[in-house]
Amino acid sequence: MGLKTKKDLHIPFTWEERRPVLLERFFYLPKQFDHEQMWLAFSSPEIFGNDRPVHLELCSGNGQWIGEQALKFPEVNWVAVEMRFDRARKIWLKTFREEIPNLYVVCAEGAAFLRHYVKPGSFTESYVNFPDPWPKRSHGKHRLIWAPFLRLLGAAMRSGGSATMVTDDAPYRDQMIREFAKSGMWEPEFPMPYYRTELSSYGNSFFGDLWTEKGLESFYMKYRNANY
């Protein structure tokens, strides 16, 4: 694969010329762009070179969790979606430096990516680990997990596919549960109150480790796509 550096990944055009671009195991989707439909069939051999199941993580951060999962489960293909370019590039570098050929990186806003670029039925499992809770009431609209987003995610999943959400923020936890119910596309895997504070063998992430060190709880929710 060859050793990669930051200089090996750059966006090859100006802001005025911006457009979606497929690079080496990296898809860049610019912000503030008038998107057109462009299906990327992640479950077909054109992306990974095989037709193995594909798992999706949104809000991947520095890629700690998904990198570990991709190494642990090489029989699965993994797609990391991160909005910030600097973080997405770190994940991309990780795929080469740690030799993780079954991990593909997308630099994009999650909803736009799902709406315009993901072929329906692409993923078998999906994860959102510690999305920004935007704790101020006035900032709540910036949160990712709302019913319209969950419908987009449901359309991207294969029949019976799952979505796992993790947060340390109790108000956001409660909102997630309400929005899953509103979406009409998901059924809870866990009985009331629809979350757990432990999920064995789930894996480690930066924020998960941080909250554990501080003695704080994390909340795990898992839902199954009801369209099966």
Catalytic residue among 8, 51, 86, 132: 132
Residue 188 belongs to what domain range? 23-32+52-134+141-225
pLDDT in the model for residue 33:
77
In a domain, 206, yes or no: yes
In a domain, 7, yes or no: no
Say if pTM beats, i.e. exceeds, 0.95: no
pLDDT in the model for residue 19:
83
pLDDT digits (tens, 9 = 90+) for 56-115: 999 999 999 999 999 999 999 999 999 999 999 999 999 999 999 999 999 999 999 999
pLDDT in the model for residue 213:
65
In a domain, 163, yes or no: yes
In a domain, 203, yes or no: yes
In a domain, 13, yes or no: no
- Active-site residue, 132 included: yes
Asked if 159 and 195 touch (Cβ cutoff 8 Å), the reply is no
Domain count, the chain: 1
CATH number at residue 87: 3.40.50.150
- Give the number of other CB atoms < 10 A from CB of residue 71: 15
Residue 1 confidence (pLDDT) above 60 = no
Residue 211 confidence (pLDDT) above 60 = no
pLDDT in the model for residue 189:
97
In a domain, 73, yes or no: yes
In a domain, 46, yes or no: no
9 or 121: which leads in pLDDT: 121
Asked if 174 and 208 touch (Cβ cutoff 8 Å), the reply is no
187 strand-pairing partners? 224
Residue 7 confidence (pLDDT) above 90 = no
Q: Name the residue among 107, 110, 44 with its Cα closest to residue 77.
A: 44
pLDDT-based confidence at residue 40 (cuts at 50, 70, 90): confident
pLDDT in the model for residue 71:
97
In a domain, 122, yes or no: yes
